[in-house]
Structure 1
């Protein structure tokens, strides 16, 4: 670990906290309004996509649903940092409106993502959300992106097959919790929080997803629910997951070789895509465009990240380390990743 970078990183964190400490309080009105509107748009657009007789309307509604669902699913990141008393009942409402119906309950992220923020884990083999992609062959980027398209299959297997089987067979249960219950990037990561899996919130979400998946499949087999509805849901979910995977590819530099990183290096390994870029509103919603700032101040609610960034830009010099974490847009950032991967080849 670089001692200078360690000190500089601590200094940057102190500066950021001094400038934006008053913005760490979550506003329940923002969370509830955003969730209500996002869920309504998601389900309405899905209904149109799955039932419209016009192919054009079905495709348009499907595209809207992908973006709305992406925004809705992205709230899972907020849930891991949001204390339950900050916005009471929000975790339950999100799981009921988005998480369980789309087989992506918060159990998949809670207890996992927080490890990504541990200073002694970030960028190492113990980090569930880090893979040194920039040091890997270029074909791994195609695999990294393409595997996201299999997400519908993975979620159905997890909750329609492994969940009920795990309640009967302890070995399957251990595997399901350790290796199939986390939204992770590191293929070697395994969960160890088995006590959490025995808690009421986890069990309620898991059983809810199990019964929901069986109910939908049963209705389709019985001819009550058209197979088109399930096929549309799978296509939308796959497209949404692929979009998130592309965003993830540029959320970090992915340059670390597995050693423990200094705080400043951890910050600089992360990426902000601030204004004037407009498209991050779609491809990096719910504050994900400020990923580096989030690593600097994890307790900032998503609706205050833009204000905090503006304050930091105004208060800090133009050549400050804080500005080194910025990228202009998705495609340029993806191009830089590909260039780094090419340079890493022997």
Structure 2
């Protein structure tokens, strides 16, 4: 872990990595950057670092089409089992479509602007999660001096908290649907006429954050126009949903909200296992951030359902945040092959969600 790694799969530093990650936070030593791994991540992936627009457009459009088609089928179905089956299909497809917000947040300024606009019209605004809720905020989670600190909107030391925090973290997820509807239907119009409401809404309810202490800074100039149009679209859509009750009855919106709540819950479960959550607020090296993050690589296939669009390689993403999602599987194969099972890189690979939840749960049990 001191930058002197070799490419020998039998490297004894692997035991040091394991011990450091398993040790209590108070006893854990700072992890220095593994320069061999960082250099390999840079050098072995240069030829796959460019986004392929055709893959992005096809994946997003097909996912949205399946999601909305299955949602319509669930609303129109006469059979309850059929409606449930279609609802599950809709939730998984819309979940995949929604997670392109993560890719959009990493686009270089001006890159694939049409894709971002189309995504907002087709997915972001209909699901009341437009891209400004990630753009400009998510990048904080990748800053070396802010990852895992109180300034990070996407980090809580869950493994170091009380046992009851884990079920609470998951069960509040379905409330996000109602909260987003309230934000766009009530707070946005009020904020247009009451500056104080606008400031509070932006600071506290304008980022997809899990850190309750996070406060978003005033809107950046390059986002200001996007925010205006996306909030306007969200407010119009929110009131359209409310008005639909009087035109179509309660069934369509209740089924839609049930599907969106499943999406929110699956995403919360994914978030729960995206990191090991073992940092107590101190700045971390890139390698330490990598080892606090999670890869769930093949051969398991189910991870592609709950961590799609490259998010099953979340630790690798923290090494190379700008790497397009469709290149992450190949990048993982190259690094795993080159560095070997005894390397630092192998230390971020985990078998699946169940083992990760069990690990975090065991950690919280020591905090009673």
Alpha-carbon deviation of 1:8? 2.8
Give unpaired runs (5+ residues) of structure 2.
5-29
Matching residue of 2:365: 342
Q: Distance in 2 between the 1:198 and 1:70 partners?
A: 25
**Does the aligned pair in 1 maintain the 2:34–2:344 contact within 8 Å?**
no
Aligned pairs (5 A) from 1:233-252: 233-252=256-275
Q: Distance in 2 between the 1:150 and 1:297 partners?
A: 33
Matching residue of 2:118: 93
Match of 2:136 among 100, 103, 111: 111
Matching residue of 1:40: 65
Matching residue of 2:170: 145
Matching residue of 2:78: 53
Matching residue of 1:206: 231
Matching residue of 1:136: 161
Q: Distance in 2 between the 1:17 and 1:144 partners?
A: 35
Alpha-carbon deviation of 1:12? 2.2
Matching residue of 1:294: 317
Provide the secondary structure at the position in 2 that maps to 1:194.
Answer: coil
From the superposition, tell whether residues 195 and 262 of structure 1 become closer, same or farther in structure 2 (CA, over 3 Å): closer
Moved over 3 A (4+): 2-7, 195-198
Match of 2:277 among 250, 254, 267: 254
Match of 1:167 among 192, 206, 212: 192
Question: What are the superposed Cα offsets for residues 37-72 of structure 1, whole Å, 9 maximum, x if unpaired?
Answer: 011001100101112111121111000011011101
Matching residue of 1:273: 296
Q: Distance in 2 between the 1:262 and 1:189 partners?
A: 22
Alpha-carbon deviation of 1:7? 4.8
Alpha-carbon deviation of 1:98? 0.5
Matching residue of 1:308: 331
From the superposition, tell whether residues 53 and 84 of structure 1 become closer, same or farther in structure 2 (CA, over 3 Å): farther
Alpha-carbon deviation of 1:114? 0.4
Q: Distance in 1 between the 2:209 and 2:47 partners?
A: 32
Matching residue of 2:54: 29
From the superposition, tell whether residues 86 and 52 of structure 1 become closer, same or farther in structure 2 (CA, over 3 Å): same
Q: Distance in 1 between the 2:113 and 2:221 partners?
A: 20
Matching residue of 2:209: 184
Aligned residues: 342
**Does the aligned pair in 2 maintain the 1:123–1:131 contact within 8 Å?**
yes
Give unpaired runs (5+ residues) of structure 1.
none
Provide the secondary structure at the position in 1 that maps to 2:99.
Answer: helix
Question: What are the superposed Cα offsets for residues 184-226 of structure 1, whole Å, 9 maximum, x if unpaired?
Answer: 01110010032459721111110001011112212323xx222
Matching residue of 2:106: 81
Q: Distance in 1 between the 2:261 and 2:82 partners?
A: 19
Q: Distance in 2 between the 1:84 and 1:260 partners?
A: 27
CA RMSD between the two structures: 1.6
TM-score by length of 1: 0.95
Provide the secondary structure at the position in 2 that maps to 1:199.
Answer: helix
Alpha-carbon deviation of 1:344? 3.5
**Does the aligned pair in 2 maintain the 1:270–1:325 contact within 8 Å?**
yes
Matching residue of 2:341: 318
Matching residue of 2:41: 16
Q: Distance in 1 between the 2:300 and 2:125 partners?
A: 33
